[in-house]
Amino acid sequence: MQTHDSPQLKAEARDFNFFYGQAQALKKINMPIYDKKVTALIGPSGCGKSTYLRSFNRMHDLYPGNRYEGEIRFYPDNTNLLSPEVDPIEVRMRVGMVFQKPNPFPKTIYENVAYGLRVRGENNKRVLDEKVENALRGAAIWEEVKDRLQDLAPNLSGGQQQRLCIARALATDPELLLFDEPTSALDPIATGAIEELVHELKKRVTILIVTHNMQQAARVSDYTAYMYLGEMVEFGKTDEIFIKPKDKRTEDYITGRMG
């Protein structure tokens, strides 16, 4: 399906299956993720899009009984993220994540952003100051919080909290950033700000975003994958998927006949 302007691969799922205990949640997924692009995962609830997203940073390893099969290749080093030999912590150091509901830690704004750096053993104040500021600027929240970095993060508004969580993820320069319905708990104005930010961020990082909102997918993404009942139904450039879907199921979903 590659065309003339074929971008570089950042990651690629190959025959990826996932099981919650006995139940198979994802079936034979094959899908590329292109470097410095935004890829959106859409589909009705329960289709497995969040499950798929959470496999990229091995979140499922936190709970017993979950099982991966197949591969998610990560480039440029061609590591299989799902390999039992690969430590999930190592994966998470390279892949950042922003959650559905803002989940700032019960710490100051500054310490929230510095968290990942401290996890990596960085304690030099100058380095921390600089990286925290960069991350907050990157998440377009620096101007709002620069005078109150020592305030507790949970006191921020919902939209600010979510941008703080993005800054927290950005601070460690992840290679891939996962967004799990990042705007579902936010009002339209805050949602707009996050969408703008996602657009801005793809200059520096590859983004994979789950959304239940098709307009959002159309606005922010370069590529879109439509998932249904644990299967990858269709993947392609966002314009093509939305204008000329190849699969009947995709078309039904996009035109609102289902879901």
Contacting residues toward other proteins, per CB under 8 A: 57, 59, 62, 64, 87, 89-90, 92-93, 96-97, 99, 101, 103-107, 115-122, 124, 127, 131, 152, 154-155, 165, 168-169, 172-173
CB of 106 or CB of 188, closer to other proteins: 106
Our CB check for other proteins shows the closer of 169 and 214 to be 169
Complex with other proteins: residue 98 or 218, whichever CB lies closer: 98
CB distance 132 to 122 below 8 Å: no
CB of 91 to other proteins, least distance (A): 8
Q: Give 245's DSSP letter.
A: -
CB 211, min distance to other proteins, A: 18
The smaller minimum CB distance to other proteins, of residues 114 and 233, is found at 114
Q: Which is nearer to other proteins, 117 or 227 (CB)?
A: 117
Minimum distance of other proteins from residue 56's CB (angstroms): 11
Q: How far is the CB of 215 from other proteins (least distance, A)?
A: 26
Distance CA 170, CA 204 (A): 10
CB of 171 to other proteins, least distance (A): 9
Residue (131 or 249) nearer to other proteins, CB? 131
Supply the minimum distance, in Å, between the C-beta of residue 201 and other proteins: 17
In single-letter form, the type of residue at position 9 comes to L
